[in-house]
Chain A
Amino acid sequence: MLRQRLIFTLIYKDGFFYQSRNFRLQRVGNLKWLERNYKFKEIAFSLDEIVVLNTSATQESLKEFASTLSSLVDGVFIPIAAGGYIRKMEDAKLLFENGMDKIVINTILHSNKELVKELVEYYGSQSVLASIDYRLVDGVATVYVENSKSNTFKTLESYVKEVEKLGVGEIYLNSIDQDGTGFGYDLESVRIIAKEVSIPLIIAGGAGNEKHFEEGLSLIGINAVATANLFNFIGDGLPNARKAILNKGFNIASWS
């Protein structure tokens, strides 16, 4: 049976990893620090996938980001998806050349649909992950781009349909309101969207403990749950959460 997935998301900017809260960033440490304090490569053995997001909105930052990714790949034997500020074909190429299995795109889904189609055609649907950030505006889930700064004035429901038509392989849905709070996923919005989506759906934003993962995995139409919460899943946090979820009979992979 196809398993559901547990994903960890790393937020990156100019050489350091960050904890995000409602998209405000708090610096945690560089790659060496992450390895020393979180034993990240060991933790990766209890994950299904890793997503790394570059939040530095400059073209120059991409090269430096790519070289960090290249060192992250060594000794991690699960898929890694990365993105942030991909604006042309060469940006994607740079990430793939540095060992990425998938790219993550966000703003260009809104601003440059032709580029999205080109990426899908060249690298295949399964290599392109569409990241969508939304927040509730007067109770309506509304999509934001450019690191959550710019309102598209489009509802999440209509946007998701638009994005699917571009041929992307998966959707990574992140609630700006819940981001980094540790209060749990925005289950209400997710429940509605999950019914509309015909490609794999990953939810993010708000997970603070294993209960939240379980809530997400229990919803129909959810393929993966993600968290970027370094603080709440420090040390054995993730391996233990995975074990607990497996013991409760959830449909996730077991490698032991």
Chain B
Amino acid sequence: MKIVIVDYGMGNIKSIESALKYLGVEEIVVSHEFEEISSGDKLILPGVGSFFKAMQNIKKLDLDVMLNKLVVEEKKPILGICLGMQLMCRNSEENGFHEGLGFISGEVKKFQEGLLKVPHVGFNQVSTCSGSKLYDSLDNLSDFYFTHSYRLKSDEDINQSTCTYIDEFIVSYEFENIAGVQFHPELSQTKGLKLLDNFIKNF
């Protein structure tokens, strides 16, 4: 099993590498080169930071074109984590209005202000969806670690799980070969490791 962590210069890649190593993944590569990425059995799109800056970096490295070919056309399995999950959606209103990769129909919006503290930081319970491959053998309302100020909304059914903080928002989606999680599985103790393992085995 070879997993490529797509590197566009944002986010903590080391924690993800360390979790994959712990799960026994034979080959873990961090890269933004087409040859490396296309040779991976599975991909992870990480990310922490601003949506706009991330899309700028992705375009500069031609990763938008590469990912479109590998993920949309060739159906290579991919897991987006945190900002990576948001980037695969249509657009975000973080610092203006910016288009994302557009693989998933969903829009990233700011938490409503003045009700509860933002950012949403810490472990929170996730309402899983039935038939999910990501949450296989994980209990409904399991705790995962979040840290974010913007969250995903969608009018369509994207096979989502949800979490409630200020309002109910989308925590994960699973669409054919494409999956994304708003929380950080690599920072969510044993349950997070299990979810990563599910991605490796079930996608």
Residues of A within 8 A of B (CB): 1-5, 45, 48, 70, 73-79, 96-101, 121-127, 169-170, 198-200, 223-224, 252-256
Smallest Cβ distance from A185 to chain B, in angstroms?
19
Interchain CB contact (< 8 A) of B19 among A3, A77, A122, A170: A77
Indicate whether A77 sits within 8 Å of B186 (C-beta atoms), given known contacts A126-B121, A200-B119, A255-B143: yes
- Bound complex: CA A126 to CA B118 (Å): 9
> Interface residue tally of chain B, by bracket?
35 or more
- Bound complex: CA A253 to CA B125 (Å): 8
- Decide: A96 and B12 in contact? CB cutoff 8 A: yes
- B129 CB-CB contact with A under 8 Å: no
- B191 CB-CB contact with A under 8 Å: yes
Name the residue on B nearest A97 (C-beta). Answer: B14
Interchain CB contact (< 8 A) of B12 among A2, A75, A100: A100
Main SS at interface, chain A: loop
Interchain CB contact (< 8 A) of A200 among B48, B50, B121: B121
Residues from chain A with a CB closer than 8 A to the CB of B192 are 77
Residues from chain B with a CB closer than 8 A to the CB of A124 are 48-50, 149
- B154 CB-CB contact with A under 8 Å: no
Residues from chain A with a CB closer than 8 A to the CB of B49 are 122-124, 127
Residues from chain B with a CB closer than 8 A to the CB of A98 are 14
Name the residue on B nearest A2 (C-beta). Answer: B124
- Decide: B191 and A255 in contact? CB cutoff 8 A: yes
Name the residue on B nearest A47 (C-beta). Answer: B189
- Bound complex: CA A135 to CA B193 (Å): 41
For the complex with contacts A3-B123, A73-B18, A77-B193, 6 further pairs of A-B residues with Cβ separation under 8 Å are A2-B122, A48-B145, A96-B12, A123-B48, A199-B119, A255-B143
Smallest Cβ distance from B11 to chain A, in angstroms?
9
- B109 CB-CB contact with A under 8 Å: no
Interface string of B104-120 (1 = CB under 8 A from A): 00000000000011111
- Decide: A125 and B119 in contact? CB cutoff 8 A: yes
- B187 CB-CB contact with A under 8 Å: yes
- Bound complex: CA A188 to CA B145 (Å): 30
Name the residue on A nearest B146 (C-beta). Answer: A2
Smallest Cβ distance from B182 to chain A, in angstroms?
12
Interface string of B1-16 (1 = CB under 8 A from A): 0000000000010110
Smallest Cβ distance from B192 to chain A, in angstroms?
6
- Bound complex: CA A28 to CA B96 (Å): 49
Indicate whether A199 sits within 8 Å of B118 (C-beta atoms), given known contacts A77-B186, A77-B188, A77-B193: yes
- Decide: B123 and A48 in contact? CB cutoff 8 A: yes
- Bound complex: CA A123 to CA B19 (Å): 22
- Supply 23 A–B pairs (Cβ within 8 Å), ascending by A: A1-B124, A1-B125, A2-B124, A3-B124, A73-B18, A75-B22, A77-B15, A77-B193, A78-B145, A100-B12, A101-B12, A101-B184, A123-B49, A124-B49, A125-B119, A126-B48, A126-B147, A126-B148, A170-B119, A200-B117, A200-B122, A223-B122, A254-B143
- B165 CB-CB contact with A under 8 Å: yes
Name the residue on B nearest A45 (C-beta). Answer: B189
